[in-house]
């Protein structure tokens, strides 16, 4: 007789595949699916059940009985101490992209309901360790800064994550580190000029759009990042890609995906939705201009780019490096203004982790762009959005998975969508 599963119970289980969220998936003796944190496909582990439901259960690895091909020694002391940073610290770095591509494929099949999934082109960003140029830290009641434990307000203050570039948190985390205001957050950035910026901040209150820098401790608090041969300047609290190699890689992929894009009967217009500081403005403008010039037998075809973002903390309007481009910047929510914009030739949208959603996708699709580049950092919401695109007559014909967060279960996906044939 199969023993009833209970919270706190130890079970032995073999993991067969990877789930979205970084857990391994296996089956218990009673047939229930078990999501095992800290396990990879091929591992046989002893796991402790942390939650038991009718059709599934959740567990954490207690010990490894037999390691699979994806498993290696943990690379991150902070994760070993419980920090929620490197949930793939035990995965062979070179095999990470394979696992992540399998998760993306699964989400596109189950959530987007794609019968035919395009080939996934994989880009593995290097380095795999010491790649993160910016980090957000919590501060405990004693003023010590550190990473939060997964699903907790507790901090790991004595160990440094191996994602961080060398020197990023010297004197900030660990023995002998300075103290900060209890309850605040500390943001540390090493920018493209090799200048370190350390600021204390307070999260935005309900109804406000921007968190407040309460104290600049080191540097100016205004970072300079170079990408696609353009210098961008913005507050340390504003969004920018964490992996030093990511911005240039994304811009290059966007250029390739938009090459040759034209829309008959109108000058080229690009929408840069959730555009932030304008990282994709050059790629969008130049790709459309080049395509229009080719069609017009060499005549110039200036491109207008409309960049929309809700956060005034990081806006293309403040970037001198974009002065060569015809950019109209709108500081508003995308869903509030998209139906008022000039019809686009192409659209690039890089929504937050929650995705673009049905309303935005419906509005963009109704505008009839010839090509869309949709960027997503969460495979589940990305797949949901792909389903919405399909319902509005667009299909994926190019798909790139970028391993932009090595040592973690996270990754970035870029898809080119075109009107369905």
Per-residue pLDDT 10s for the chain (421 aa) are 456 899 999 999 999 999 999 999 999 999 999 999 999 999 999 999 999 999 999 999 999 999 999 999 999 999 999 999 999 999 999 999 999 999 999 999 999 999 999 999 999 999 999 999 999 999 999 999 999 998 899 999 999 999 999 999 999 999 999 999 999 999 999 999 999 999 999 876 554 455 789 999 999 999 999 999 999 999 999 999 999 999 999 999 999 999 999 988 788 999 999 999 999 999 999 999 999 888 877 677 789 999 999 987 767 777 999 999 999 999 999 999 999 999 999 999 999 999 999 999 999 999 999 999 999 999 999 999 999 999 999 999 999 999 999 999 999 999 999 999 8
For residue 2 the two structure tokens come to 């199969």
Using alpha carbons only, give the angle 126, 402, 125 rounded to the nearest 5 degrees: 5
φ/ψ bin of 298: left (φ > 0), alpha (ψ from -120 to 50), beta (otherwise)? left
CATH of the domain at 300: 3.40.50.150
pTM: 0.94
- Secondary structure of the chain: what % helix, strand, coil (to 5)? 20, 35, 45
Q: How many CB atoms lie within 10 A of CB 277?
A: 28
User: Residue 100: phi, psi to the nearest 5?
Assistant: -70, -40
| Residues 413 and 271 grouped into a single domain | yes
86 is catalytic: no
Among residues 171, 221, 223, which one has the least CA distance to residue 199? 221
Buried-state track 53-86, b at ≥16 Cβ within 10 A, e below 16: eeeebbbebeeeeebbebbeebbbbbbebbbbbb
CATH of the domain at 21: 2.40.50.140
Binding-site residues for S-adenosyl-L-methionine sit at: 241, 274, 299, 350
Q: Which of 70, 89, 109 is the last residue of a domain?
A: 70
> Does residue 4 form part of some domain?
no
Q: How many CB atoms lie within 10 A of CB 44?
A: 15
Range of the domain at 31: 9-70
For residue 164 the two structure tokens come to 């961080």
> Does residue 408 form part of some domain?
yes
The single residue listed with the structure tokens 């980090």 is 135
- Please tell me which residue in 76, 86, 161, 377 is annotated as part of the active site: 377
For position 405, what pLDDT does the model report? 99
- Output Rg (C-alpha) for the chain, integer angstroms: 23
| Residues 387 and 345 grouped into a single domain | yes
Binding-site residues sit at: 241, 274, 299, 350
Alpha helices per DSSP H over 38-141: 77-80, 96-110
């Amino acid at each position: 007789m199969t023993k009833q599963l209970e919270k706190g119970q130890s079970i032995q289980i073999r993991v067969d595949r990877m789930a979205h969220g970084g857990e391994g998936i296996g089956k218990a003796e009673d047939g229930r699916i078990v999501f095992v944190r800290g396990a990879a496909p091929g591992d046989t582990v002893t796991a402790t059940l942390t939650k038991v439901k009718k059709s599934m259960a959740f567990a954490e690895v207690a010990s490894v009985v037999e390691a699979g091909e994806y498993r290696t020694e943990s690379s991150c002391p902070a994760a070993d101490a419980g920090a929620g940073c490197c949930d793939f610290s035990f995965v062979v770095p070179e095999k990470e992209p394979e696992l992540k591509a399998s998760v993306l494929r699964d989400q596109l099949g189950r959530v987007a309901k794609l019968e035919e999934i395009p080939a996934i082109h994989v880009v593995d960003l290097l380095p795999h360790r010491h790649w993160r140029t910016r980090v957000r830290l919590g501060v405990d009641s004693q003023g010590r800064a550190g990473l939060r434990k997964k699903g907790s307000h507790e901090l790991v203050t004595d160990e440094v994550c191996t994602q961080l570039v060398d020197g990023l948190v010297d004197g900030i985390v660990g023995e002998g580190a300075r103290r900060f205001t209890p309850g605040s957050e500390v943001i540390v950035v090493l920018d493209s000029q090799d200048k370190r910026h350390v600021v204390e901040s307070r999260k935005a209150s309900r109804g406000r759009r921007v968190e407040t820098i309460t104290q600049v401790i080191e540097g100016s608090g205004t970072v300079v990042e170079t990408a696609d041969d353009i210098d961008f300047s913005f507050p340390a609290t504003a969004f920018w890609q964490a992996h030093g190699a990511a911005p240039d890689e994304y811009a290059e992929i966007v250029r390739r995906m938009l090459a040759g894009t034209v829309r008959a009967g109108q000058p080229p217009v690009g929408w840069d939705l959730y555009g932030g500081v304008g990282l994709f403005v050059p790629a969008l403008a130049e790709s459309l201009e080049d395509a229009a010039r080719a069609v017009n037998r060499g005549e110039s075809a200036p491109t207008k780019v409309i960049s929309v973002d809700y956060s005034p903390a990081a806006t293309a309007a403040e970037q001198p490096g974009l002065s060569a481009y015809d950019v109209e910047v709108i500081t508003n929510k995308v869903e509030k203004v998209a139906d008022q914009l000039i019809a686009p030739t192409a659209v690039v949208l890089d929504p937050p982790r929650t995705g673009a959603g049905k309303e935005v996708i419906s509005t963009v699709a109704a505008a009839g762009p010839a090509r869309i580049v949709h960027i997503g950092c969460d495979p589940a919401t990305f797949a949901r959005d792909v389903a919405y695109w399909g319902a509005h007559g667009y299909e994926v014909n190019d798909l790139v998975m970028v391993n932009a967060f090595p040592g973690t279960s996270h990754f970035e996906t870029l898809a080119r969508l075109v009107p369905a044939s």
